[in-house]
Amino acid sequence: MPAVPPSRVARTSAWLFACFVLALLAACAPLPPRNPLAIWVPSKNFDIRKPQLIVLHFTDQGSVQQALDTLRTANPGGPVSAHYLIGRDGHIYQLVSDVDRAWHAGGGRWGTITDVNSASIGIELDNNGHEPFPSAQIASLIRLLADETARWQIPRAQIIGHEDLAPARKDDPGPLFPWSTLAAAGFGLWPDPLATLPDPPPGFDPWMAMTALGYSLDDRPAAVRSFHNHFRGTGGNTLDAGDARILYNLVGKIEQGDTEKP
């Protein structure tokens, strides 16, 4: 019986090993969710979860590594996560797929969206809440926002802070966050300069304008504080004449569809 060439033995062994690996992977691969009580008759008429909103947070922790640990493990306050974390140096980390539901928003609502986790992308920024946000971090955020809004067709105006959707519970990303810098890059709803804004007409209701933006009025002082942090970079829980001018201007932008900046 003729001897089998060593090269042929090597090729056969490699082929058998490849078959073994493929079989192992096939055995381990998760199947699509199917109900065992039903007959699987697949349809092509479906799509994946499409986020409608982007929510910005600060981590309120000491370092990006501490934030990564918290967002990937069970922390004392319960498990939390986000789709992305951006370090102070501008590095972008992804923790949850865009098509999955991260646990970043908690209770709250924005406009008609009441399950914000299911309808949003959550982005955490490494910041303790008391310091300015570095330019490298904001530059990376703007790059990420450009990518996310383009890929998922999220309106560029639909970028809010955690405190906007949960004003009675949260204060992030806080009054130090540079919303105007984002607006200059074309992201987020933003008013024209306050000094140029006219007074609203008689009968204008600033509370109706707040709800038109998306704020819940369940706790009005808290909603005003969040509005002030976002649009004026200051505290206070009562609306003044400047707020009324800003609200009138913002509602006008919404009504005119002037929310998609190039």
Task: Fill in the DSSP letter of residue 110.
Answer: B
Catalytic (active-site) positions: 124
Strands 84-86, 120-125: pairing is parallel
- The 92-94 sheet, strands edge to edge: 92-94, 84-86, 120-125, 53-58, 159-161
- The rounded distance, in Å, linking the Cα atoms of 122 and 105 is 7
Cα dist from 162 to 19, 89, 122, 143, 224, whole Å = 50, 22, 9, 20, 14
Rounded to the nearest 10 degrees, what angle do helices 241-256 and 220-231 cross at?
80
> What letter represents residue 204's amino acid?
F
Task: Fill in the DSSP letter of residue 77.
Answer: T
The answer to whether the CB of 31 falls within 8 A of the CB of 37 is no
